[in-house]
Structure 1
Amino acid sequence: MRLSTLAVLLGFTLSVQAQDSLISYVDPFIGTGGHGHTFPGATVPFGMVQLSPDNGRAGWDWCSGYHYSDSLIVGFSHMHLSGTGIGDWLDISVLPLTAPLDDTVQRLTMRFSHDNEQAAPGYYQVLLSNGVNAELTTTERCGYHRYTYPQGSTPIIRFDLAFHVNWDNPTETHVSILNDSTLVGYRYSTGWAKVQKVYFAARTSAPIVRSILNDGQSASDMSDMVETYDKGKGASVQLFFDGNTHRTIEMKVALSMTSYDKAVNALREIPSWNFRDVRKAAEDKWEKELQKIKITTADNRLKRVFYTALYHTAIAPTLYSDADGTYQNANGELRTMPNGANRYTLFSLWDTFRALNPLFTLTQPQRYTDMLNSLLAFHDENGLLPVWDLSTWETNTMTGYHAIPVLADAILKDWPGLNAERAYEAMLHSAYQDIRGVPDYIEYGYLPQDKAGGSVTVTLEYAFDDWCIAQVAKKLGKTADYATFMNRAKSYTHLFDSQTGFMRAKTSEGHFVEPFDPFWSEHDFDKSQYIEGNAWQHSFFVPHDVHGLVHLYGGNEGLSSKLDELFAAPSEMHGENISPDASGFIGQYAHGNEPSHHIAYLYSYIGEAWKTQERIRQIVDSMYHDRPDGYAGNEDAGQMSAWAVWSIAGLYPANPASGEYVFGSPCADEVIFALPNDKSFTIRTLDKDAKNGYIQSVTLNGEPYEKTYIRHEDVLNGGKLVFKMGPKPGKRYGRKPESWPGGN
């Protein structure tokens, strides 16, 4: 009886879990406080439209347009960056009004309370101080607005194409009202991306009875709804509706980077006026996305952290092309992706190459080919692979040429639909470019600080990228290139100072730059030796040759001791212009910025996997929360979240182009990856609780497993990885060199 009852109970539990809605664990407000820089509004996975509120304030913490500390809304714009450190986009701003603006160029602010605001995947709602209840949802290229106005008010919707904050400024704007329910327009602007062109088409559910257009200097009041037109740097329009017959006004706003006509075509993504159905479709897309990784845990806080992180990994990069693959790039060229593919933009590669892109090789089997080929399309249009692509413009922000590890990882994993020879040629162009300090890096074997800023960061990152090229050369049988780039991959050795145990900047004469302070941080890239950090945070970026780094430190004990010092050092930084990006400190480990993300995993390369497990559990518990300030720093287009997804599961690509996933300290009872080949890979944790953070033993498919990592192809084969945990370090596990990642 007891076995039968247990079976029934287990069956009931599994049924409940099968029906469990994973989107209910996502909180889009996580990351909108602190320095997370995320937005709370509506979008679908990797959609062109991110329809979200803007507070209207300039400043670093308003890079996404919204910060949880604020109480004002100036509009709902259709394009937002997720978690970055630079403010741009915020195109096509819309605000519902109940009274016309006399000065049509003024910026009107509405108060709101978080008590009257909610957000969920694909949906956002807020009650504004003018009594309008605003609801937003989206498809890939179309935003859907529903505004419910107070009884007796005059429904008005204002488009403000002049709206901008931070880096962005409009250069030319246009509005044309075609009939009593349709308008089109565009907004050209310059900012972080110097050339941005966004076209839109809007259609309303009720007839427009009057409009006031403004070109930024003068207004035109149109009482008869004939075709009207306005153009200037700050065009805006107020659309009036009959409040006696329409208290609720719905509106679709579609985007294109190509033309009005393509924006009008994109309106077809929402063929009817049914807000509930469109919202449900957006929710279903997110539910399908989240079902790719299922976790089992009684800790609902952990579920909220995990699924919000997984949600944030599926926002960027974003669609840039029309439904037929056509797009207009920053050079003004009309192009079409072949074979119905999509073009993507917003590649924050300095961040995402580390963990997000390797995660995509498990979670994005359909989309990732198009994303990779978008990198190659950028190369074909500009002569080099992108560094930081925004609106197909090269912002040239941050260091390294990190499209290379992204492409290398895919090639080494035999990614379908990617031409390896074509990608390899593009890699070589980046490796031999005549800008970004590359000629000096090649000449001296490192980047001298007196030739360009960022000597240490640039040298170490170029060395890693060159190792990635070498691995692809080896796979493709290019023996001479393999030797050349393996030699370049050793460039980091030239900057190691054995006296201090740090990587230090050198001059072109071969001398270390003096004075030296490992706590010193300089945010000016031209002056800084370490980009967005200091010597502590950047000296360990040698993920491709940890055993070479060990040699510099005189052995495993030397590197272990230095890592211990890192986590125990005072959490302070020195300097007059300290980088704000370094945050989330444990000692001098700074989880709030990407250069630290692999460091805790380095212990596993030297036979001290238990220290990795200890630190990973500490970082997960202290740096991720289910609050608006739930991230330790900028979320950075999915990287901060990808670290959490991997690490909560118990794995991490410490070398993101090696195909090795290093074990950490799994936090859930069970994690199931739904794999691209219709198989599944399960990670199960035995004897797990808050105190049992240490791995005692591991089995793979029922057999003892001694390695402290697992390879990508083993994950793809499916199966079950089981960790037995305990409250004390399992120091015997992972002690043998043959069990370590990194080639030994």
Structure 2
Amino acid sequence: MIRYLFTIYFALFFFQGLYAQKLTDFVDPFIGTGGHGHTYPGAVVPFGMVQLSPDNGRSGWDWSSGYHYSDSTITGFSHTHLNGTGIGDWCDISVMPFVNSDAKVKATFKHQDEIAKPGYYAVKLNSGILAAFTVTERCGFHAYDFPVGSDPMIQFDLGFHINWDKTTGACVSVLNDSTLVGYRFSTGWAKNQKVYFAARTSKGFSKFKLYSGNKLINGAMVLDTAARVQLFFAGASGGRVMLKVALSSVSSEKALAGLSEIGGWDFEKTKNIASEKWEKELQKIKIKTADVALKKTFYTALYHTCLSPGLYSDGDGDYQNSRSEQHRMANGSQRYTVYSLWDTFRALNPLFTLTQPKRYPDIVKSMMAFYRENGLLPVWDLSTWEANTMTGYHAVPVLADAVLKGIKGVDIEEAYRAMKASAMQQTRNVPDYIRYGYLSQDKGGWSVTVTLEYAFDDFCIAQVANKLGLKSDYKLFMQRAVAYTRLFDPVTGFVRAKNSDGQFTMPFDPYFSEHEEKAEYIEGNAWQHSFFVPQDPRGLAKLHGGNDKFIKKLDSLFSVSSEVKGRNASGDISGMIGQYAHGNEPSHHISYLYSYVGAAWKTQEKVRMIADSMYHDRPDGYAGNEDCGQMSAWFVWNAIGFYPANPVIGQYVFGSPLVDRAEMALPNGKSLTILVNNNSKANKYIQKIVLNGKDLPKVFITHSQILGGGKLIFYMGSKPNKTRAIRPEDWPYSIN
């Protein structure tokens, strides 16, 4: 009977996807769960604290989200998951249903017995249990349909972990025959993580068993790193048992209060509310295309841009940080966590300035709260712990972009002090970067990547200094913004590592990459990192000998061998076109550099090639880690025709739009309608662009022009228009 219902459900879902107007029907949360996407398929609402999703019970890079599409086992459904990262963590408060008290049998499933939609996940296990899940912001809703005649049992396993995360302390306390509370403390990528929970069942359990590992514990509470509790529903003879689980970073009492987010036991109502929240998000960019696969890819990407960062505070704004300090966000704001800034500063955060006008001020305020609590802005904030992962201090471009665009609620002077603190810190090799004008390889490693990224971040600080009228600071940071010039090698045409004596390191091979801390380039090689100068592409072109030679170097990037040399090359180097690696973020802006030097048609050509080859509507639909929304944000921008190649100056460079029409709801209540005339696979080249009835000769559109709303029309053709936008005044900003 259950399998029959699944068949009917899938048939209805298929036909709804073809004819319904709901945009949620075009989201497939399984996209990215295969390959190296590292996404999860479970239930979540936009930016929610709870991500209720299945775990395969394995460790490994491709199980960083707890689930991989290649697997067929489920060991539990936990309440916190990371979207598309390269390191596994979280997976807190694991819950699993069993029949006939047999918790030793590993559950298996088939993908045809799974359903995943925005805010909803369901699977039929080989035990015959149909498990379904939906959520609110801080509360997960479980519905388990047990086979007729079975004795239902539900287990909480607080010792469950993946990869190097491990439980450091756990507690389960049974309050009555339908309520339990507890916590899981853990350490892993982030240290001193504290997740409190409260759970309530829809019907009373007849008995419970508490375990410390495999040892049965008397009483109503267990304290142990391997704490488990089993809830038995004898006499139920199968049927439905429902469960609510709420989370808090503060206390079990706060989690108990969080249970009120779900009133009553109407699962369908809660599922529909979650779906409505997603529909509201997706309606912010409405596209038109006859290509159903493109529509699925687009709306799944837009869905993935709304998962991180996630809520960390309770409904009243209270939270406990990794220092075990309790705080409350002021004026009704909420605290967020999961800031993968090395990735998201490039495209996701600029997208938020248009799509998240109500939420984004709190996302920025959370970064400032981190600064006040820790003395520095976050590099990689996970559960408010500084994971210090990756290079640069990329909270700076995010803050600078917010300040320059006038995002409300940001204290500009405090934000500037925070940015400057990052640039003047005594850690992360900043003193040596200041001393030598570049980071020397013998002083810290990652010489090239750190130097180029610090230089860009310093450029961002300079723009805010200029806005505040701080002339001496502006001059200082603009000088630091061209630090890349000190590492450019005119002989090889690459940006190379130098030691403190001013000599380039040897030997050198632009195809060589090592995934270690003393490498010269992080997660890449000279080909992929030598182009990260978004603040000064024409200055970089000048070092190459002029625009024409720079264009030839860019051409080479896309046409040379895709071989990556080295015994321990990073797995993040993926999605290769020549040495262009779309599976990792340092490449994401490179195709747009042509537009800075008079060859915009080549940008259009390359962007269309990347979008068509690196994104699909399958589980392996991403070329690399989804990285908390950045991989998806690239596609969202490019599908509608432009991209923030330099993410802080309010200019979006035109690419080659994929859709026939898009309507973007703007923060000020206006809308921008994008029309793409004569669009097709072959017609990838822009012939002209018209904005509100006037020819737009430039290769970019400004943030203020977008906010002005109206109508933007692309006229496309099968041959490049090489005479359009060849004047330097029509090119995007560059220092030189």
Give me the TM-score of the superposition, normalised by structure 2.
0.97
Write out aligned runs for 1:44-59 (5 A): 44-59=45-60
Write out aligned runs for 1:300-379 (5 A): 300-379=292-371
Paired position in structure 1 for 2:474: 482
> What 5-or-longer segments of structure 1 have no aligned partner?
1-15, 223-227
- Are 1:200 and 2:197 matched, yes or no? yes
| Alignment counterpart, residue 155 of structure 1, candidates 145, 152, 157 | 152
> Does the aligned pair in 2 maintain the 1:708–1:739 contact within 8 Å?
yes
Amino acid paired to 2:90: W
Write the distance in 1 (CA, Å) between the matches of 2:591 and 2:146.
53
3-state SS in 2 of match to 1:577: coil
Amino acid paired to 1:438: V
Q: CA offset at residue 246 of structure 1?
A: 5.9
3-state SS in 2 of match to 1:574: coil
Amino acid paired to 1:674: A
Q: CA offset at residue 183 of structure 1?
A: 0.3
Write out aligned runs for 1:14-413 (5 A): 20-101=21-102, 108-216=105-213, 218-220=215-217, 228-244=220-236, 247-413=239-405
Give deviations 1:322-373, integer Å, cap 9, x for gaps.
0000000000000000001000000000000000000000000010000001
3-state SS in 2 of match to 1:638: helix
Q: CA offset at residue 220 of structure 1?
A: 3.1
> Does the aligned pair in 1 maintain the 2:441–2:500 contact within 8 Å?
yes
> Does the aligned pair in 2 maintain the 1:293–1:671 contact within 8 Å?
yes
Write the distance in 2 (CA, Å) between the matches of 1:160 and 1:399.
36
3-state SS in 1 of match to 2:567: strand
Amino acid paired to 2:303: Y
> Does the aligned pair in 2 maintain the 1:96–1:147 contact within 8 Å?
yes
Q: CA offset at residue 520 of structure 1?
A: 0.3
Write the distance in 1 (CA, Å) between the matches of 2:140 and 2:164.
24
Write the distance in 2 (CA, Å) between the matches of 1:623 and 1:470.
35
| Alignment counterpart, residue 650 of structure 1, candidates 629, 638, 641 | 641
Give deviations 1:537-581, integer Å, cap 9, x for gaps.
000000011111111111101110100010001011000101000
Write the distance in 1 (CA, Å) between the matches of 2:302 and 2:27.
9
Write the distance in 2 (CA, Å) between the matches of 1:290 and 1:451.
47
Write out aligned runs for 1:324-723 (5 A): 324-524=316-516, 526-723=517-714
Give deviations 1:71-129, integer Å, cap 9, x for gaps.
0000000000000000000000000000224xx7x6x5210000111100000000011
Write the distance in 2 (CA, Å) between the matches of 1:286 and 1:244.
35
CA RMSD of aligned residues (A): 1.2
Write the distance in 2 (CA, Å) between the matches of 1:427 and 1:389.
16
> Does the aligned pair in 2 maintain the 1:206–1:246 contact within 8 Å?
no
3-state SS in 1 of match to 2:688: strand
Write the distance in 2 (CA, Å) between the matches of 1:250 and 1:391.
29
Question: Quick one: percent identity of the two aligned structures?
Answer: 62
3-state SS in 2 of match to 1:178: strand
Amino acid paired to 1:590: A
> Does the aligned pair in 1 maintain the 2:541–2:549 contact within 8 Å?
yes
> Does the aligned pair in 2 maintain the 1:146–1:248 contact within 8 Å?
yes
Q: CA offset at residue 244 of structure 1?
A: 3.2
Q: CA offset at residue 17 of structure 1?
A: 12
Amino acid paired to 1:127: K
Write the distance in 2 (CA, Å) between the matches of 1:677 and 1:332.
39
> Does the aligned pair in 2 maintain the 1:547–1:742 contact within 8 Å?
no
3-state SS in 1 of match to 2:513: strand
Q: CA offset at residue 18 of structure 1?
A: 11
Write the distance in 1 (CA, Å) between the matches of 2:488 and 2:164.
38
Q: CA offset at residue 165 of structure 1?
A: 1.2
3-state SS in 2 of match to 1:617: helix
Write the distance in 1 (CA, Å) between the matches of 2:363 and 2:726.
39
Write the distance in 2 (CA, Å) between the matches of 1:502 and 1:417.
42
Q: CA offset at residue 732 of structure 1?
A: 1.1
Amino acid paired to 2:597: I
Amino acid paired to 1:211: F
Amino acid paired to 1:204: T
Write the distance in 1 (CA, Å) between the matches of 2:136 and 2:662.
30
Paired position in structure 1 for 2:4: none
3-state SS in 1 of match to 2:566: strand
Q: CA offset at residue 736 of structure 1?
A: 1.3
Q: CA offset at residue 66 of structure 1?
A: 0.2
3-state SS in 2 of match to 1:576: coil
Amino acid paired to 2:371: H
Q: CA offset at residue 245 of structure 1?
A: 6.2
> Does the aligned pair in 2 maintain the 1:592–1:632 contact within 8 Å?
yes
> Does the aligned pair in 2 maintain the 1:203–1:252 contact within 8 Å?
yes
Runs of 4+ in 1 over 3 A off after TM superposition: 16-19, 242-246
Q: CA offset at residue 215 of structure 1?
A: 1.8
Q: CA offset at residue 242 of structure 1?
A: 3.2
3-state SS in 2 of match to 1:115: helix
Give deviations 1:505-524, integer Å, cap 9, x for gaps.
00000000000000001001
Write the distance in 2 (CA, Å) between the matches of 1:199 and 1:131.
31
Q: CA offset at residue 195 of structure 1?
A: 1.1
> Does the aligned pair in 2 maintain the 1:352–1:638 contact within 8 Å?
yes
Write the distance in 1 (CA, Å) between the matches of 2:587 and 2:347.
12
> Does the aligned pair in 1 maintain the 2:101–2:152 contact within 8 Å?
no
Give me the TM-score of the superposition, normalised by structure 1.
0.96
Write the distance in 2 (CA, Å) between the matches of 1:18 and 1:630.
24
Q: CA offset at residue 243 of structure 1?
A: 4.1
Write the distance in 1 (CA, Å) between the matches of 2:376 and 2:522.
22
Write the distance in 1 (CA, Å) between the matches of 2:400 and 2:420.
12
> Does the aligned pair in 2 maintain the 1:211–1:221 contact within 8 Å?
no
3-state SS in 1 of match to 2:442: coil
Q: CA offset at residue 216 of structure 1?
A: 2.0
3-state SS in 2 of match to 1:637: helix
Write the distance in 1 (CA, Å) between the matches of 2:375 and 2:118.
38
> Does the aligned pair in 2 maintain the 1:581–1:592 contact within 8 Å?
yes
Q: CA offset at residue 318 of structure 1?
A: 0.4
Write the distance in 1 (CA, Å) between the matches of 2:146 and 2:18.
40
Write the distance in 1 (CA, Å) between the matches of 2:423 and 2:18.
49
Write the distance in 1 (CA, Å) between the matches of 2:489 and 2:481.
18
Number of matched residues? 719
